[in-house]
Amino acid sequence: MRPFAVYGSICGLTLLAACSTKQADNSAAQPAPPPVAAADSAGPAPGPAAPATKPQVADSANLSPKFLQGLRGLGGAGTYSVRGQWLRMGQDDSVRFPLDLPAGKPVVYTGRQGAQTITLTLTRLNYTSLRFAADAVGGSTGPQHEEGVADLNPGFLLAAEVPEDTESQVSYGANEYLGETPTRNFSILVGIGPDADKAELSIVDATGKPLAQWQSVPTLRRPTL
Tell how far CA 71 is from the center of its chain: 4
- Angle (CA) 183 106 174, round 5°: 70
| Predicted local distance difference test score (pLDDT) of residue 88 | 83
| Predicted local distance difference test score (pLDDT) of residue 68 | 86
Residues 6+ apart with CB under 8 A from 131: 122, 123, 125, 147, 148, 149
| Predicted local distance difference test score (pLDDT) of residue 11 | 35
CA dihedral 78, 81, 86, 91 (to 10 degrees): -80
| Predicted local distance difference test score (pLDDT) of residue 132 | 98
Q: Under a CB-based contact definition with an 8 Å cutoff, are residues 177 and 188 in contact?
A: yes
Tell how far CA 47 is from the center of its chain: 25
CATH topology of domain 107-221: Lipocalin (2.40.128)
| Predicted local distance difference test score (pLDDT) of residue 87 | 87
Distance between CA atoms of 222 and 111, rounded to whole angstroms? 9
Low-confidence ranges of the chain (pLDDT < 70): 1-60, 75-79, 224-225
For the chain, residues classed under CATH 2.40.128 are: 107-221
| Predicted local distance difference test score (pLDDT) of residue 135 | 97
Query: What pTM, to 2 d.p., does this model score?
Result: 0.73
